[in-house]
Amino acid sequence: MKKTTMRLADGRELIYYDSRDDVVRDTVDRRPLDPVATAAEIRTDRLLGDHVAIASHRQARTYHPPADECPLCPSRGGRHSEIPAADYDVAVFENRFPSLAGDRGRCEVVCFTPDHDASFADLTEDQAALVLAAWTDRTAELSQLPGVEQVFCFENRGAEIGVTLGHPHGQIYAYPFVTPRTARMLASLAAHREATGRNLFDDVLDDERTDGRRIVLDGDHWTAFVPYAAHWPYEVHLYPKRRAPDLLALDDAARAEFPRLYLELLRRFDRIFDTGAGAPPTPYIAAWHQAPHRTAHRADFALHLELFTIRRTSGKLKFLAGSESGMNVFINDVPPEAAAERLREVASKP
């Protein structure tokens, strides 16, 4: 992998990740951009202890532009985008409309491919491996920024999820705090260790593999399963069999196997609902859970990816209504065992 770093016209950082070492990235961003001005602040909910980012400047962000005005496509034919080069493999840049900025964290955009009409599932294994390498490198870099406590790599796909740009891309948030979801995991991890002397993540993975009913994919180095108490209609967790706290700690074998298993998982998600040719692809969120880099029990945390869709059946979405939004109690209409069976049924043909 070759990494090339440059600055956009307004001073934001742009990083190219290329699979070939002989690629030269020296195209200058010639757009007449004003410096980025953000109004982001972080407030704390006094009752729940949650952090809330207030970012009013995001109201002006680009919203569903036509394909020929996409800011994530390469700059071609006299049209200038966020990526000055006429082509790229993987590109990462600071978000122009960040939720977190300055000493309050950082937000980056990850462009998986220059092909506007593709999706992550359309990537080759080599392309997916390059994205994994970019996620890993950005985790290493962002975790060293002053004040950053946790790095979160994720992808939102589909208008139903709220995506405002159709180009295949993800994001990375570098939070200046430990997120509430991770804090709850760490508390459960500590309580389980106190009660049993064992690691909670290891026990969850062992229990799922022993039960077997919710296993979707089982490779040499990764296991994908629908969790016993899945919140979402179709939700899969992907764990490396050798526990690692974050992407940097993955061993070479797990890193090599990941692209094949993850691409197969995404392709199965696209086949869940039998929506037919030309139908919108399955909307989903793919989220990497990594240990906060300054937590006391970092080595006990287990890196894993959570993939879920808000679609519960063809043409119907799972809405977060009163119980979910008001009290954070999820009600799942699809039994996890049935979801796992469906995801096994739609396996790619050899």
The residue annotated as part of the active site, out of 169, 192, 221, 304, is 169
Cα torsion 138, 143, 149, 153 to 10°: value is: 10
Q: How far apart are CA 320 and CA 330, in angstroms?
A: 8
- Would you call 304 a catalytic residue per the annotation? no
Q: How far apart are CA 93 and CA 172, in angstroms?
A: 10
Helix pair 252-271, 125-142: axis angle to 10 deg? 120
CB 260 within 8 A of CB 132: no
Q: How far apart are CA 230 and CA 1, in angstroms?
A: 37
CB 217 within 8 A of CB 224: yes
Q: Is the dihedral of CA 258, 260, 264, 267 positive or negative?
A: positive
Enter the tokens of residue 40. Answer: 């982001």
Catalytic residue annotation: 169
